[in-house]
Amino acid sequence: MLKIKKYAAIDIGSNAIRLLISTITEPEGKTPTFKKTSLVRVPIRLGEDVFVTGKISEKNKQRVLDSLKAYQLLMRTYQIEKYKACATSAMRDAENGEALAKEIYQTTGIEIEIIDGKHEAAIIAATDLHNLIQDDKTYLYVDVGGGSTEFTLFSKGKNITSKSFKLGTVRLLNNLVNDKLWDEVQTWIKKVTKPYSYIALIGSGGNINNIFKSSGKKAGKPLSYLYLSSYYQLLNSLTYEERISQLNLNEDRADVIIPATKIYLSAMKWSRARSVYVPKIGLADGIIKSLYNEGLEENE
């Protein structure tokens, strides 16, 4: 007997807010499949408020509320069985983050869970990577966000260690990352990857997805360090307006893509990785997978 479930994930990030609707198909006696039915992204840059002023502005508070009202209607229309909404670095650091979460619940009925960096890394690590990760190899998973970057080391199919750093694209754009933090990230990456002779990167986030799409590579094929480095040089050679017109980048992508690429290149250099795989997965995918796993545990 075929079972079909519809779950949703809301990711309130520092650069954008996303709603992912996923259809989970469970053929009897077979492995379930997860299909992205819909993805709605609203570019509300909460990090630009929070990392500079310490709180979310009234204008962006209203934009968040409007977005969540729309998401609530979409989830109802799609007849979502289960959902989970997580807020990350910007709402975590905002002095009015908890108050906004309460207002969202009172207005829309959507309960927001403000998660810390460690929890965020754990959710991301729960994403379905078995099609990519080979049991005899080692990978450094790098998820670059607006407020933080989550690093997870996988070896022989197992999660070895993970760590979150306040190294995000919006923070970098606003000159809020000092050399000390870069040094901490470098030290950690070199330390955890030192025992392994060969490492590949796995990159996630909208910026690396965009770079991969522009490369014309087939799904499952990695980008080389050389390609990413040359693309970084290209980005830096163009003005903000030229990146929009010539590279067909969205306005909210054309600036953050440069610091994001710097983070990926730095991680590759420090881990000695020569290639980066780019599956289209992130926090929202991890939320869907964790919801599904929770359901399995409840039924046991």
C-alpha dihedral sign at 265, 266, 267, 270: positive
Structure tokens at 85: 């909404």
- 4 with 37: CB under 8 angstroms? no
pLDDT in the model for residue 293: 87
H-run or E-run covering 3: strand 3-12
Beta strands in 156-244 (DSSP E): 158-165, 199-204, 223-224
Same topology between domain 3-117+284-299 and domain 129-280: yes
pLDDT in the model for residue 295: 77
CATH label, 129-280, candidates 3.30.2020.30, 1.10.287.110, 3.50.90.10, 3.30.420.150: 3.30.420.150
Q: What is the pLDDT along the chain (300 residues), one digit of tens a residue?
A: 788 999 999 999 999 999 999 999 998 888 889 999 999 999 999 999 999 999 999 999 999 999 999 999 999 999 999 999 999 999 999 999 999 999 999 999 999 999 988 888 778 777 666 566 676 789 999 999 999 999 999 998 888 999 999 999 999 999 999 999 999 999 999 999 999 999 999 999 899 999 999 999 998 899 999 999 999 999 999 999 999 999 999 999 999 999 999 999 999 999 999 999 998 888 899 899 989 988 776 666
Q: How far apart are CA 91 and CA 159, in angstroms?
A: 27
Instruction: Look up the pTM and report it.
Output: 0.89
Beta 149-155 vs 138-144: how paired, if at all?
A: antiparallel
User: How far from the centroid of its chain's Cα atoms is residue 221's Cα?
Assistant: 20
Q: Which of helix, strand or coil describes residue 30?
A: coil
pLDDT in the model for residue 141: 92
Domain 3-117+284-299 homologous superfamily, CATH = ATPase, nucleotide binding domain (3.30.420.40)
- 151 with 118: CB under 8 angstroms? no
Domain boundaries, the chain: 3-117+284-299, 129-280
User: Of 163, 176, 202, 191, nearest to 285 (Cα)?
Assistant: 202
How many Cβ atoms from other residues are within 10 Å of residue 225's Cβ? 18
Q: Residue 13 corresponds to which amino acid?
A: G
How many Cβ atoms from other residues are within 10 Å of residue 187's Cβ? 11
